[in-house]
Structure 1
């Protein structure tokens, strides 16, 4: 079976390697264009491009897919039996979806129909879900609305971060995709249609600005939010005009009557903050321009008075 693989970030690398390890013929790899990074704005290849080149595979980086007859002709010449898509980052037009014999399969990091969209991993943690997973979907023109071909559940631990769940789902997705390809060849797949409406809000892409903490939310929601935003863009607030990233926290019950964001205590246990409901103990943080550290270590070198209000 000839496969064309389409993917861009780290999440997709495991799936590409798994397809290669399983012995499938990879006719080509499609990824997004190199992006400038750092102060010098040097072009950096995508994670998938770097992995593909290590495997000796031909890489294609079209600037657009829609209304691109030249790239469509290239795909036709590659003659894939199936196109596998994992976090490619662009909408696949109809003429590409219908090109391969078996269509396009998508590795989606949620248990569809929940968490359709670009950032299902982070939103599952932010929303306090107890489980997530991966769904292999037959792609159509909708946004993650195609028939479900296979799925696997992955538990979300109480300490789970967006980053740790990312790693778990990348591994699970790679294994599930290879199993699905084997069944596809044998004609042993049983597609299940999705309902028209998703039981959750669309898992929209997250931006750096989304990491700002709203102290009026309940402590439980904030604790999930901090884990979901770890490692990027990181949950942050402001203290005396400087940015303060919050890496770890825990919920503590009790009400003080103080304004949300107010420091209730600053000691060896960390910073205790009033929230919209109960309090949140900050145990690991990072002040702007400084390294990440335990809150207790931070407080040995920084005086934070009770009554200080964060976020202003």
Structure 2
């Protein structure tokens, strides 16, 4: 099959590699323009562009895809059998959706119709779901509203968003490959989404990492995993940002009537922090200018004062 691949971040890399490994003819890779990244503000290519160039595939980086006649003409000239979209970063207009013979398909990192939108992995963790997965779907004009082709699931357990991201990227790539033959033959399934079950997973911002100790230890532990690696869960200790890398609810027989956010225990096991209904034991932190480390290691050269209120 002649394929146009549209994707941008690391999540989109495994699927691109697998399509190439299977010998399909990737005529073009479309990805976001190079943008400044990190503190140096140096223009950096997207992860998908790096891999496409490594594989010798032509790359196109339009500033916009809507009302862009030059880009539209390029796609029509290629006349792809299929357009595969994985975390490209923009909604495709109808004039692009109508081009490929077998349609435009997308890998989404949730079991649709749950968690449509840009941050499904984080919101699955925040909600306390026991499992999540990936959906292969035909693309429609709405956001993640098209008919489903296939789904694959995995347990969330105590995984971070970063760990789930990597796992789902590979799971999605294999699911895509498993369905390409049926897509070409016209035998791929078309399962309508149940709109009554649809939920939305909005974008995650840096401020979403700030810990509110008026929540329960279970909710905070989920937040820490959902915000790892970005933006990171954090609080403030004596005016300095303290990133919380790992923590878990701590069973205690003592009734804590202190203000939420109060440090009530400091020891080699971690830092005990009062929350709305129980203790949170923080076991790994990162202070400004330092690497992440276990609390037991941090305490060898630093002091954490009991009674200090975080936040």
* TM-score bin, normalised by smaller chain: over 0.9
TM-score by length of 2: 0.97
Matching of residues 129-278 of structure 1 within 5 Å: 129-157=129-157, 159-200=158-199, 202-254=200-252, 255-278=255-278
CA distance in 1 between counterparts of 2:79 and 2:188 reads 22
User: 1:127·1:225 contact (CA, 8 Å) conserved in 2?
Assistant: no
CA distance in 2 between counterparts of 1:81 and 1:263 reads 60
Structure 2 counterpart of 1:125: 125
CA distance in 1 between counterparts of 2:306 and 2:121 reads 36
Superposed CA deviations along residues 261-282 of structure 1, whole A, max 9, x for unmatched, are 1101011111000111211000
User: Which blocks of at least 5 consecutive residues in structure 1 are unaligned?
Assistant: none
CA distance in 2 between counterparts of 1:61 and 1:23 reads 24
RMSD of aligned Cα (Å)? 1.1
User: Which blocks of at least 5 consecutive residues in structure 2 are unaligned?
Assistant: none
CA distance in 2 between counterparts of 1:279 and 1:96 reads 53
Give SS of 1:300's match: coil
CA distance in 2 between counterparts of 1:199 and 1:174 reads 24
CA distance in 1 between counterparts of 2:243 and 2:99 reads 46
User: 2:8·2:88 contact (CA, 8 Å) conserved in 1?
Assistant: yes
Structure 1 outlier segments of 4+, above 6 Å: none
CA distance in 1 between counterparts of 2:81 and 2:310 reads 56
* Equivalent residue pairs, number: 309
CA distance in 1 between counterparts of 2:283 and 2:27 reads 49
Structure 1 counterpart of 2:33: 33
CA distance in 1 between counterparts of 2:223 and 2:265 reads 22
Structure 1 counterpart of 2:70: 70
CA distance in 2 between counterparts of 1:299 and 1:258 reads 23
TM-score by length of 1: 0.97
Structure 1's 45 and 209: CA in aligned 2 closer, same or farther, altered over 3 A? Answer: same
Residue 38 of structure 1 deviates from its aligned partner by 3.3
Superposed CA deviations along residues 188-219 of structure 1, whole A, max 9, x for unmatched, are 2121101224443x111111121111111110
Give SS of 2:194's match: coil
